[in-house]
Amino acid sequence: MTGLKFTKMHGLGNNYIYVNLFEERLREEELADLAVRVSNVNTGIGSDGMILIGPSERADFRMRVFNNDGSEAKNCGNGLRMVAKYVYDRGLTDKDQFQIETLGGLVEAKIQTGSDGKVEEVTVDMGPPRLLKKDLPMLGDPESKTISETIDVDGVPYTITAVSMGNPHAVIFVDDITQVDVAAVGPAIEFHPLFPERVNVEFIQVVGRGEIIFRVWERGSGITQACGTGACAAAVAGILNARLDRKVLVHLLGGDLVIEWKEDGHVYMTGPAEYVCDGVYYG
Ligand SMILES: N[C@H](CCC[C@H](N)C(=O)O)C(=O)O
């Protein structure tokens, strides 16, 4: 009985099933359904989604990411750090800095090793945030930005700042993160008609000029322990609203990320990536 070889990894608890397309063959038409099946915690392996690592004509590697509802996303920050660790550790590259192609564009990952030569953390240049409504996408004037705009969500007003990191994010600032019903408000905004391709939803409590507490409802996956692109979007939103300085410590449920929106206009994300297991899937 042949199965599908996989590696399960996580970035601050945001976990994915990795399939190495240098070794495995998958049919395009099976990808969405496979992502749903492997993500299922009862009948599958259990994860926030599936990530494919493969060759690229434009970069060193290509990453594709599928949420656990089978939808394909254009970027995944935690996923990028895990891809970087995987290709470095498994000898798919002899470089410690390389480019990864995503549907949302090219990014550059840099491996940080400890004195033992093992990967300690990864810094990814996520490129510039995209702020125009046409880039999200979001309904309204396509050439306008969404900075602290109030929208109606089932009769309740929410003030959002919309940021794309290749994938769309609606960022909401709150006074007390513990009072937010993420499981209720998240999907109400994810499926809001203003977002024709849906949206990831981040709730942010500002602790100081360089520190936030972060919770997320991910498009296509629901509440996750962490969201790398969401942390980038949250930092950008805080800076756009003059509430944060350019370097931000982000406290996510699963741990911390350091995000910096540098003067070069690019957003840099630094954080860990961990293995869970290697295995064979027979679903
Ligand atoms: N749910 C996201 C993709 C995963 C992003 C997240 N896990 C990250 O680390 O950036 C979307 O549909 O755009």
Residues in the chain: 283
Rounded to an integer, what distance in angstroms lies between the CA atom of residue 181 and that of residue 201? 12
**Both tokens of residue 275?**
């293995």
218 marked among binding-site residues: yes
DSSP 225: S
Q: Which helix (DSSP H) or strand (DSSP E) does residue 232 occupy?
A: helix 228-240
Burial of 222 (0-12, 13-18, 19+ CB in 10 A): middle
Look at residue 189 and give its three-state secondary structure.
helix
- Exactly one of 63, 227, 234, 248 is catalytic; name it: 227
Token output for 25: 């063959």
The CATH architecture of the domain made up of 4-127+271-281 is Roll (3.10)
77 marked as part of a ligand binding site: yes
Is pLDDT of 62 > 70? yes
Q: How far apart are CA 234 and CA 256, in angstroms?
A: 13
Average pLDDT over residues 112-134: 97
Annotated catalytic residue 76: yes
Please check whether residue 234 is in contact with residue 202, taking contact to mean a CB–CB distance below 8 angstroms. Answer: yes
Phi, psi of 189 (to 5 degrees): -85, -35
Is 67 labelled as part of a ligand binding site? yes
How confident is the model over 184-232, as pLDDT tens digits?
A: 999 999 999 999 999 999 999 999 999 999 999 999 999 999 999 999 9
Write down the mean pLDDT value for the chain: 98
Residues 10-20, buried b or exposed e (16+ Cβ, 10 A)?
bbbebbbbbbb
Q: Which of 76, 131, 199, 240 is catalytic?
A: 76
Residue 141 reports pLDDT greater than 70: yes
For residues 223 and 219, give the distance between their C-alpha atoms in angstroms, rounded to a whole number.
9
Mean of pLDDT values over 17-36: 98
Residue 1 has pLDDT above 80, yes or no: no
CA–centroid distance, residue 209 to ligand 1 (Å)? 25
The whole-angstrom separation of Cα 72 and Cα 127 is 20
The pLDDT value given to residue 2: 78
Tens-digit pLDDT profile for residues 77-121: 999 999 999 999 999 999 999 999 999 999 999 999 999 999 999
150: its two tokens: 């109030």
Ligand 1 atom nearest to 14, measured from its CA? 7
The CATH fold assigned to 133-265 is Diaminopimelate Epimerase; Chain A, domain 1 (3.10.310)
Q: Is the pTM of this model over 0.95?
A: yes
Nearest to 165 by CA among 89, 93, 257: 257
Reported in sequence order, the residue ranges of the chain that DSSP labels E, i.e. its strands, are 4-11, 14-20, 49-54, 61-67, 72-73, 97-102, 105-113, 119-125, 149-153, 156-164, 168-173, 200-208, 211-218, 222-223, 247-252, 255-261, 267-271, 274-281
Which sign does the torsion angle of CA 221, 233, 120, 103 carry? Answer: positive
Question: What residue spans define the domains of the chain?
Answer: 4-127+271-281, 133-265
- Confirm whether 227 is a catalytic residue: yes
pLDDT at 35: 98
